[in-house]
Structure 1
Amino acid sequence: MTKPAIAFLACPDTLPGSPTRRPDAFEHDLLLEAIRTGLGDRADLHAIDWRAPMDQLTQYDLAYLGTPWDYTEAKDEFLERLEALEGAGVVVANPAEVIRWNADKLYLAELAARGAPSIPTLWPQSAGPAEVLAAFDHFGCDRVVLKRRVGAGAIGQDSFTRAAPPPPDWRIDQPAMIQPFLPAIQSEGEHSFIFVSGQFSHGLIKQAAQGDYRIQSLYGGIEVAVDPAPADRQAAEAVMAMLPFEAPPLYARIDMVRLDSGELAVIEAELIEPYLYPLQGAEFGPRMAEGMLARLG
């Protein structure tokens, strides 16, 4: 019987040999190797640019959204490509309906309405100095963080204080979000909970480099594997249960940070192309392999 073929969708910023390869693209290599090892000889796994010709992509039985990290600059094109693959009979993981819901961070407001412990947020259509100054008073805080609603990897993200507000010409010219800065990001770090087919796989804490607050490896962040406290794991599992889909996604990364109250609040429910930290989860590769094969029947 012919082995199934699985596409690990990537982009020029992550594919080996690319002249534009990012310095954190080693995460692509680690993720690909973990899944390939988990699959063994049961399926063929190939990394390929998500913009490759459709006649190439439709040769695969399943398309996994591995590291298409440039999709944020072409969200509509990305969604159209995923829907076209599904229309051609390719299993897409996670499915296009999940990606469409997750691509705009306004989904966090929906999770908050469902009862998820959340960070207070303002949702301006664009943001300049006036919106930042108003946010200080709205939240009653001295520091805020601003993000693009469609974005990843802290790209386009800024943080300002009352003492050091944005310059007059600063602006986010697209839908944005503003939140109070949470000190636990620097004192404790950001908790990540990895789920495969709806089941908890492994946990870790991501810590920023000295003097920074961004926890991504691109900015010097490090990761420490942890066995989450029962209450913390339950908080992440509760967020998973709030996702508005009939079946759990193949993969999910629930990112949370501790509030002053001691409970964890959700920062992101990463369902598109998150790095899933295979080095911190010994069983991650086999679990992903089983999940992929199950989706292929």
Structure 2
Amino acid sequence: MNVAFLTCPGTHPGSPTRRADAFEHDLMVAAIRPELATRGHGLVEIDWRSPLEAFANMPLVLVGTPWDYQDSEEQFLAKLEALEAAGHILCNSAATVRWNVRKTYLRDLAASGAATIPTLWIEAPTATDIAAAMEHFGTGSVVAKRQVGAGAEGQSIHHHASLDTDWRMAHPAMLQPFLPQIQRDGEYSFLFVDGRFSHALRKRAAAGDYRVQSIYGGTEETLEPSPDDIATAQAVVDAVPQGMPLYCRIDMVRGSDGTLLLMEAEMIEPFLYPEQGPQLGVLMAEAITRRLEALTPVTT
């Protein structure tokens, strides 16, 4: 059987508008495809905007790398729900994606006991909101992030001494105090497949930046986390209200007291860092195969 791997023009092989970080898509496909092939399954890269008919004979769909969904949120969610309605199994499920697409899901995880970064939720913030957030948090630097966003797109950092009074964001946002340990210590990522810990890594920003994504010059290093740190990340995965996702990346930063604070629980289209987890392809192929073996073939 073939498995669909959703893409977008920025990640699809051969696209004239591929992103600078599309190599991350290639690394994930290179890790998963051969392991699926040894189990008798193919992996087909397909733009998420393709018509439903294009998914015929592909009973399982991996959300993959649709890294432009944030600008077409409802269209994207509608396509995922249409795929499920047509009988395809979606990984992760449309319900999980709809819950995870808005970063307000962090409030649910905080209510379940996860330690999170203090956040103000503002619908259309301006410089006035940034100034108020600085006062609220007792800090001179605040980060503004889109509530529906990916890859730090649209994210900005603001400092009291150089605040642009004309700044505004046209999207619902989350405002957080800037944590300098992001630059000093980096960001920690814990990868899980079917609820099982796979691997961990530490991401560091380029000099003079605070964003850890490769497109901004960020780098990664393999990490051997302590059992306590794994348990902290595992507790977040276990608290997902829609049930266990096939894949999940838990991004965390250490607080000033050494406690791991949850930044993101990525269950839509995260890069899964196969170079730092050589077993990822096997774990993903095994999890996918278990689902395929439980399915009745579907047609669209």
Same fold judged by TM-score > 0.5? yes
Paired position in structure 2 for 1:264: 260
Matched residues in 2 for 1:260 and 1:44: separation?
A: 46
Q: Give CA-to-partner distance per residue, 1:180-238, whole Å, 9 cap, x none.
A: 01111001100000000000000000000011000000000001011112221111011
Matched residues in 1 for 2:148 and 2:56: separation?
A: 27
Is contact 1:35-1:285 (8 Å) kept?
yes
Paired position in structure 2 for 1:171: 168
Is contact 1:191-1:256 (8 Å) kept?
yes
C-alpha displacement at 1:59, in angstroms? 2.9
1:193 aligned to 2:209?
A: no
1:292 aligned to 2:288?
A: yes
**Counterparts of residues 213-252 of structure 1 (less than 5 Å):** 213-246=210-243, 248-252=244-248
Paired position in structure 2 for 1:273: 269
The counterpart of 1:34, out of the listed 11, 31, 36, is: 31
Corresponding residue SS for 2:199: strand
Instruction: Give the counterpart letter for 1:26 in structure 2.
Output: F
C-alpha displacement at 1:169, in angstroms? 2.4
C-alpha displacement at 1:164, in angstroms? 1.5
Is contact 1:58-1:88 (8 Å) kept?
no
Structure 2 residue runs of 5 or longer lacking an equivalent are 295-300
Paired position in structure 1 for 2:146: 148
Aligned-residue Cα RMSD (Å) equals: 0.9
Paired position in structure 2 for 1:137: 135
Moved more, 108-117 or 143-152: 108-117
1:49 aligned to 2:21?
A: no
Is contact 2:128-2:165 (8 Å) kept?
no
**Counterparts of residues 52-71 of structure 1 (less than 5 Å):** 52-71=50-69
**Counterparts of residues 75-90 of structure 1 (less than 5 Å):** 75-90=73-88
C-alpha displacement at 1:58, in angstroms? 3.3
The counterpart of 1:114, out of the listed 112, 118, 121, is: 112
C-alpha displacement at 1:242, in angstroms? 1.2
Matched residues in 1 for 2:65 and 2:110: separation?
A: 28
Paired position in structure 2 for 1:283: 279
C-alpha displacement at 1:114, in angstroms? 1.3
C-alpha displacement at 1:245, in angstroms? 2.1
Paired position in structure 2 for 1:6: 3
Aligned length: 292
Is contact 1:232-1:264 (8 Å) kept?
yes
C-alpha displacement at 1:168, in angstroms? 2.7
Is contact 1:58-1:90 (8 Å) kept?
no
Instruction: Give the counterpart letter for 1:267 in structure 2.
Output: M
C-alpha displacement at 1:43, in angstroms? 0.1
> Normalising to structure 1: TM-score of the pair?
0.97
Corresponding residue SS for 1:179: strand
Is contact 1:132-1:144 (8 Å) kept?
yes
> Normalising to structure 2: TM-score of the pair?
0.96
Instruction: Give the counterpart letter for 2:111 in structure 1.
Output: A
Paired position in structure 2 for 1:202: 199
Matched residues in 2 for 1:119 and 1:227: separation?
A: 24
C-alpha displacement at 1:241, in angstroms? 1.4
Structure 1 residue runs of 5 or longer lacking an equivalent are none
C-alpha displacement at 1:174, in angstroms? 1.7
Q: Give CA-to-partner distance per residue, 1:48-95, whole Å, 9 cap, x none.
A: 101112101233111101111011111111111111111111111000
Matched residues in 2 for 1:288 and 1:73: separation?
A: 28
Matched residues in 2 for 1:53 and 1:243: separation?
A: 30
Is contact 1:38-1:287 (8 Å) kept?
no
Provide runs of 4+ in structure 1 moved above 6 Å.
none
Corresponding residue SS for 2:202: strand
Q: Give CA-to-partner distance per residue, 1:275-294, whole Å, 9 cap, x none.
A: 00000001100000011111
